[in-house]
Amino acid sequence: MGAYDIGVAGCGPAGLAAALLLARNGHRVRLYERFDAPRPVGSGLMLQPVGLAVLRELGLADGAVAAGQRIDRLFGKAEPAGSTVLDVRYEWLRNSGLGGVGIHRAALFGLLHEAVAASAIPIETGRAVRGVADGRLLFEDGSGSARHDLIVDALGAKSPLASQPGRPLAYGALWASLDWCDGFDAHALEQRYVRANRMTGVLPIGRAPGRERPQAAFFWLLRSDRLADWRESGLDRWKSEVRALWPATAPLLDQIGDVDQLTFARYAHRTLRRPASPGLIHIGDAWHSTSPQLGQGANMALLDSWALAKGLREAPDIEKGLARAVSLRQAHVRLYQALSAVFTPAYQSDSRWLPFIRDRIVPPFGRLWPATRMQAAMVAGTFGGPLRPLDLALRP
């Protein structure tokens, strides 16, 4: 392995982690960020055991656990019957002691960004990328970067460097970070559903930077083409609808006094056929984007970053290193993209028969072994055994 000049586009978890891992391998790394100052976007997310395995190698797992909240269970009920539809527990995994971590995006960003700063990795801000040519990133203001041996695209699902468009999903979600309230399980992601077109959920996410009280990520399913109607109908009408579905959310809803407290996230499903080409590799959502139903986005991005650093370290040149990185991740990526395509419509669609199967037929079988272990493995990100080829290990 030689030492390469590498430009990383994007300061999300994928870009920051990749920059850290590549710099630690001796490469000369420079980050490019479109905002005037790097900052996270969104509310909360779940770190799964596979993502924590990468953070542990970076020395950041303890900080993530301290900032977040341990998650032992995913639990959901279908209304109005109140029947249990989803009940997945990490204790069903073969490795005892494993769990997830609900964490505020700002907390995860802070850990990674501080490590980047401590490693003296330069970041150029105000650099909105529009393309790439001859090893240089091209920016919207007409300028370009210095020439790099390798460009890492960590710009997310809407990356201008990914030529293959995604398939927009009909449903997105409204998200808000709110102060934690009693009435919810402090160690569970809880959800309530009506068919597959109405869903709300509460995820404990620990403490955001600068906040003393623990927080919850609150989300509400919404069709993207109904966002304007939702805004026009007003908060009071919407709050009444949410309270009717799940009365315990009232103290959370009382904290929302303006529509701008809620961020609407749109989703698309896409898996690039060629995630790497000469001098360029796409990682994270730039390679594979989907709905957040399986809660794997940040974890898959961290695994991609690790695979990239490992591939370049073990190969004699960049081209072979990229091929190695893709081969380490391709099977796991394809598996989870397929799982997401299969399961998402049962929770986010206008279908009537899919939620009927979800609510009436699947639950009895889902409580039996080996379905219990398979469900837990899918949630934990360990389904398909992604860590062994990466030389990573699970730890409680």
The model's pLDDT over 110-122, given as tens digits with 9 standing for 90+, comes to 999 999 999 999 9
Nearest to 307 by CA among 382, 386, 384, 385: 386
Return the residue matching tokens 């900080």: 63
pLDDT in the model for residue 396: 81
Give the tokens for residue 83: 């029947």
Among 103, 97, 123, residue whose Cα is nearest residue 20: 123
Rg of the chain over CA atoms, in angstroms?
21
Tell me: cis bond preceding 370? Omega within 30 of 0 counts: yes
- Which residues have C-beta within 8 Å of that of residue 298, sequence separation ≥ 6? 13, 45, 46, 47, 51, 108
**Each residue of 243-280: pLDDT tens digit?**
999 999 999 999 999 999 999 999 999 999 999 999 99
Of 287, 370, 295, the C-alpha closest to 333 is 287
- Domain annotation covers residue 244: no
Q: What is the pLDDT of residues 274-286, one digit of tens each?
A: 999 999 999 999 9
Q: Is residue 378 part of a domain?
A: yes
| CATH (domain of 86) | 3.50.50.60
Asked if 309 and 1 touch (Cβ cutoff 8 Å), the reply is no
Reduce the secondary structure of the chain to three states and give it as a string.
Answer: CCCCEEEEECCCHHHHHHHHHHHHCCCEEEEECCCCCCCCCCCEEEECHHHHHHHHHCCCHHHHHHHCEEECEEEEEECCCCEEEEEEEHHHCCCCCCCEEEEEHHHHHHHHHHHHHHCCCCEECCCCEEEEECCEEEECCCCECCCCCEEEECCCCCCCCCCCCCEECCEEEEEEEEECCCCCCCCEEEEEEECCCEEEEEEEEECCCCCCCCEEEEEEEEEHHHHHHHHHHCHHHHHHHHHHHCHHHHHHHCCCCCHHHCEEECCEEEECCCCEECCEEECHHHCEECCCCCCCHHHHHHHHHHHHHHHHHHCCCHHHHHHHHHHHHHHHHHHHHHHHHHHHHHCCCCCCHHHHHHHHHHHHHHCCCCHHHHHHHHHHCCCCCCCHHHCCCCCC
- At residue 1, the pLDDT reads 63
Total count of domains within the chain: 1
Distance of CA 50 to the CA centre of its chain: 12
Q: Which of 55, 273, 27 is nearest to 152 (CA)?
A: 27
The pLDDT confidence band at residue 310, using thresholds 50, 70 and 90, is very high
219-246 confidence digits (pLDDT tens):
999 999 999 999 999 999 999 999 999 9
Give the burial class of 224: count Cβ atoms within 10 A of its Cβ; 0-12 exposed, 13-18 middle, 19 or more buried. Answer: middle
CA distance 124 to 30: 8
pLDDT of 80 reads 86
Whether this model's pTM surpasses 0.75:
yes
In the structure encoding, which two tokens stand for residue 386, read together?
Answer: 């992604």
Whether 223 is covered by a domain: the verdict is no
Strand pairing report for 44-47 and 100-104: antiparallel
Question: What is the reported pLDDT for 367?
Answer: 78
Query: For residue 257, is it within any domain?
Result: no
Residue 187 lies in a domain: no
Structural domain harbouring 157? 5-167+268-390
Residue 369: pLDDT band by 50, 70, 90 thresholds? confident
In a domain, 189, yes or no: no
Over residues 146-182, the pLDDT tens digits come to 999 999 999 999 999 998 888 899 999 999 999 999 9
- Does residue 217 form part of some domain? no
Spell 265-282 as b/e; 16+ CB within 10 A means b. bebbbbbbeebbeebbbb
Residue 206 has pLDDT above 70, yes or no: yes
Residue 262 domain flag: no
352-356 mean pLDDT = 90
pLDDT at 312 over 70: yes
